[in-house]
Structure 1
Amino acid sequence: MAMAAHEIEQLIRAGIPGAEVTITDLAGDGDHYAARVVAPGFVGMSRVRQHQAVYAALGGRMGQELHALQLTTAAPPGE
């Protein structure tokens, strides 16, 4: 079963404190999403580590309930 956008957002916010999360349903099918995650905890992290943190927050749901997720991650400006 596919995940709802609000579920993805909740998981990311729970796993990455202080994150600003925007979820977009790319295909309108509830199965292909884009996520923009901006978090103070990303300061000093490589883009790969940022993405790993998001996947960790999703708790193994990638490839299971969540089929496809296009990620954009960043630290807040000025941090």
Structure 2
Amino acid sequence: MQTEAVAQLIRDGLPGAEVEVSGDGSHFEAVVVSAAFEGLPPIKKQRLVMDTVKAQIASGELHALSIKTLTPGQRA
């Protein structure tokens, strides 16, 4: 998979999110900024993002995704 394809899957699943993805084709790192994370514990934030790429992980197309989640107020 390409980094932009991963980013687009996340954007499609979390409308309005700002997404930056880096990686090497199978292992990716994503930084996701979304108001949807407001008030959620870290595990629920991670699940929201992982749900957007669930099919790609299940198929093996996406092997690993490291996620950093931020609310708009936490963005540096």
Bin of the TM-score, shorter chain as denominator length: 0.7 to 0.9
RMSD of aligned residue pairs (Cα, Å): 1.4
Runs of 4 or more above 4 Å deviation: none
TM-score (norm 1): 0.84
TM-score (norm 2): 0.87
Partner of 1:73: 69
Q: Deviations over 1:9-41 (max 9, x none)?
A: 11100000110100011xxx3111100001011
Where does the alignment leave 5 or more consecutive residues of structure 2 unmatched? none
Question: Equivalent of 2:39, from 40, 44, 47?
Answer: 44
| Partner AA of 1:73 in structure 2 | T
Partner of 1:10: 8
Residue identity over aligned pairs, in percent, reads: 37
Where does the alignment leave 5 or more consecutive residues of structure 1 unmatched? none
